[in-house]
Structure 1
Amino acid sequence: MSNPYFRTACAVALAAATSGCVTTMGETPTQQLEVHTILDHREVAGVGCVLSNAAGRWFVVAPGRVTVERSRSPLTIDCARAGTGDAREVAVAHATSFFDSDRLIGNIIVSAGGAPYINANDGSGVAYQSTLTVLMHPAPAAAGTPGASGENGNVVF
């Protein structure tokens, strides 16, 4: 058929179907997170943090940014700095909204919108909170320093 409208309609349908395949299969399995550490209502700099989930482990010095691999498993954040304190937090992966996605039309055409939610083992369709605030616990005071507690609970000076 040499009808120009028919060729245009076929080209548009092919482009929409192809872009849906590429976008659905090409979902980024990683996510960039920002990590902040807080102690006594103040941000503490130079704190080493290890983030881990079922997909792997990553290191960052807070405050800082790190790229992690998405997973449906919780993200554990362990932070510590000698003489300052330590912390352990857990961030749960939340489902990303289907309608916030720029691949809405491709998903509808290719997979009826269910492609990012089919595989329960990978990180597609989920994300962690983009800014993680870790509340640190102060390091115990060393014995013999002002303000340290003695064995009987009395303050040692």
Structure 2
Amino acid sequence: MHQPIDSDTSSFLLLDIARLLRAEFESRVDDAALGITPSEARTLANVARFGPLRQNDLADLTGLGAMSVTSVLDNLEAAGMVRRSVDPKDRRAKLVQVTEKATPLLAKLRAIGNEVRAVTRGDIPADDWQSFRGMLKTARDNHLTAYRNKRTTGAVST
């Protein structure tokens, strides 16, 4: 007989929270009628957070395929929210960055993000919330270090 899977492990809990956060954010973006889709909102927020960055890196960050991110960027560029330029380090690659026109929209997306995070926090005391955020940052950094080590050495360090 097989053992039941524990759905309260840290991995399942983090994935559930991420899924719920994303669904809530996308619902609020739709409800706000900002003139962009939730995918465009996520993409724009990632460009603002990390940009200028290459389109392929943006695809990795957003979880969208290369073709999908190109389509999303086409729409954002047509709306004047982002600009693409040739990467001076690799002329085959395109760098994406936000424009000044995106500033008011990014402020609205930031407000929506704050609302969603308030739902997530609920009545968790401020000190506990800060500790939780610190632990999440450490866990993220642990994964980033393992990922970088794997890319440079070909194996995950233990």
Q: TM-score, normalised by structure 2?
A: 0.20
Higher relative contact order at CA 8 Å, sep ≥6: structure 1 or structure 2? 1
* Between structures 1 and 2, the one with greater helix share: 2
Q: TM-score, normalised by structure 1?
A: 0.20
Specify the structure having the higher radius of gyration (Cα): 1
